Structure formats: C-alpha cells, structure tokens
Amino acid sequence: LKPLSLPGEDFYLISNLKGLNIISNGKRVTGNIGAHSAIKILEKWHDSTQAEFQFEKNKDSLIVRQWCWNIPAVQRWVFTINKNIILWDSELEVENFMSIEEIKTGLILNSCYDKITIGDNTILLPDLNSSWEQIEIPSNTKEVLIGIDNNTLGFPDIVFKSFLSGSIVIQNADKNINGRFVQASITEEKEYPAGKYNIFNAEIKIMPR
C-alpha cells in the first residue's frame, strides 16, 4: 500500500504497515513502530505490534483504524496538525462488553532520545538493554519534554502533553523494539459495554534545534 502523509512545519507524519512515524528534516523521530497503543485484558497485553491497520487521509487529517483479531474493539486515531503541533485523538469502538485493566497510548521515540524534562527537573535516561525498564517520574505527570543530551544530529525536541485522566509513563523498550516509550496510561480498571469511548487526547509539539 502507498504510504499516506500529513505535513507540518519542518516535519511530517507518514503511515507504515505497523502504525505511523514522525519524520523531521530527514530524521526519523519515532522508533521502529512510532505511534503505539496497548490494552491490558485479563493480565495480557494487546498492542500495536500485534494489530492490523487501515489508513485514510482527509484534507486536514490522517485517520488510523487499528484492531487486534482477539479483542472485540477497534481504535480510531485522528491526527491533525497546526504548524508544529500534532493533535491526536483516540476513540475506542467496543463491539461487545469488555473489562479493561489498563490502556496506554503514545509514541515510541528513536533510541537516541536520552533525557526528559518535567518542570524544572531533567532526568538522563539509562541506556537500553535486553529487558524493559520503567523510568521513575511523578505519578501525576501530564507534560514532558524529551530531548537528546548531546544533540549533534539535528533531531528536534519533543513536548508530549496529555489532556485526559491518567498519567504519562516513560519506559525503555528492549533492544528488539529499540526505543523510548512516552505514553499516557489509564490504570483504572473499567467495564466497557458496547459503544464508543474517548480514551486519549494529546498534543505533541515538534521543536527543531
């Protein structure tokens, strides 16, 4: 399938078989997968690496539908761009009753990103290794700046801001995925009868260096 793209200032979104990537001045800001989500049901995660995708482009938006064959729901992501800001809304379309333990939605960033700033505090991220690693940050975090400590390659800084309930989580993926997870997490276990639910609303600012 021909990739679909949506341009912004000094960057663009482009579809791939497993999601959506951000490219800025020829640099792939996102990791192997890019836009990513995961749903936890009965202690088992169902995420974008297991999903099928369908893409549609309107005049000013890119629409992504994502589904896993073994759960009765479809996610509908809508991306719009205002200059250097990506607006991302996610809706969960539930076909049959589901009980969900946790939902995470966000970006897998290129592994070269190695520091985060929350308020006045800057944290250098540890190197990736063979296992997943949760980065400790304040539990009510809604906005984070992600950058590179010694940025000689021209990658932009990224501001990730979540508007819905839950908190931002930062994780190092293992070397198979090889990236930094920046996601909004809803950890409240909740029952979802058939219907449509707004599960994610975020602003991603691309700040060229």
Task: Tell me the pLDDT tens digit for each residue of 97-132.
Answer: 999 999 999 999 999 999 999 999 999 999 988 888
C-beta atoms surrounding 76 within 10 Å: 16
Q: What angle do CA 183, 108, 159 make, to 5 degrees?
A: 60
Residue 144: pLDDT above 90?
yes
Name 185's Cβ contacts closer than 8 Å, sequence gap at least 6: 102, 103, 104, 166, 167, 168, 169
pLDDT at 48 over 80: yes
For residue range 52-91, list pLDDT tens digits in order. Answer: 999 999 989 999 999 998 899 999 999 999 999 999 999 9
Q: Per the structure block, which two tokens stand in for 166?
A: 């839950």
Q: Check if the beta carbon of residue 198 is closer than 8 Å to that of residue 88.
A: no
The H or E element containing residue 200 is: strand 195-207
pLDDT of residue 31: 87
**In this predicted structure, what is the pLDDT of residue 16?**
86
Q: What is the DSSP string of 132-159?
A: -EEEP--TT--EEEEE-TT--S-PPEEE
Identity at 41, one-letter amino acid code: I
| Residue 19, pLDDT above cutoff 90 | no
Is the pLDDT at 1 greater than 80, yes or no? no
Backbone angles phi and psi of 49, in degrees to 5: -70, -20
How many whole angstroms separate alpha carbon 159 and alpha carbon 143? 7
Sign of torsion, CA 80 86 87 93?
positive
Q: What is the pLDDT, as a whole number, of residue 64?
A: 95
pLDDT tens-digit map of 159-195: 999 998 789 999 998 878 889 999 999 998 999 999 9
Residue 142 Cα distances to 24, 40, 51, 158, 186, angstroms: 24, 21, 27, 14, 12
Percent share of the chain, pLDDT over 90: 78
